[in-house]
Amino acid sequence: MVKFILTKELGKLARWLRILGFDTYYYTSDNMGTLIIYALRENRVIVTRRKRVDDMKVVVVETNDVRSQIKELVEKLKLKINENLMFSRCVICNELLEKVKKEEIKGKVPEYVYTTQQEFYRCPSCQRLYWQGSHWGNVREILKKVLGGDVCS
């Protein structure tokens, strides 16, 4: 599965790629030399809005808004979005989420969430909790609008 490294002007797109399950390194430094080293070492595709990153497998994103950027990237790389991988990563850290027992998070999420949701996931790095109803809410709807009918394989 393709892995990405995104330059700092693409923070929103980085979160989206993580939501979709792609291993996405969000690179916030201006040091392009180190960026290239990371990309080579971990075999990541560089995604950037900058025009000049030499001799690398680079995708230059032409559009401004994140929805257009998703569409653009999916089209340019002919990405397959696998529904089973969606919501498997922390949008902040890129870590794979771990399922947690419901009892473990009692008191750590709002009461109504605890009573209405059955499945909870935790980021092993930042400990942020995820559940279907919250952050994931209308992602599928947005994707449908952005990419058209059959986005998921």
Please give the residue ranges that form the binding site for Zn ion (CB under 5 A): 90, 92-93, 123, 125-126, 128
Please report how close the Cβ of residue 92 comes to Zn ion at its closest, in angstroms.
Answer: 5
Type of residue numbered 144: K
Cα–Cα distance, 85 to 97 (Å, whole number): 11
Cβ proximity to Zn ion, 92 vs 146, nearer residue: 92
Helix axes 66-77, 11-19, angle to 10 degrees: 60
Cβ proximity to Zn ion, 93 vs 142, nearer residue: 93
Please report how close the Cβ of residue 118 comes to Zn ion at its closest, in angstroms.
Answer: 22
Please report how close the Cβ of residue 132 comes to Zn ion at its closest, in angstroms.
Answer: 17
Measured between its terminal Cα atoms, the distance across the chain in Å is 14
Cα–Cα distance, 102 to 5 (Å, whole number): 34
Residue 100: strand pairing partners: 120
Please report how close the Cβ of residue 130 comes to Zn ion at its closest, in angstroms.
Answer: 9
Cβ proximity to Zn ion, 62 vs 104, nearer residue: 104
Cβ proximity to Zn ion, 109 vs 152, nearer residue: 109
Token readout for 151 is: 């986005």
Type of residue numbered 86: M
Cα–Cα distance, 98 to 55 (Å, whole number): 37
Cβ proximity to Zn ion, 6 vs 90, nearer residue: 90
Please report how close the Cβ of residue 90 comes to Zn ion at its closest, in angstroms.
Answer: 3
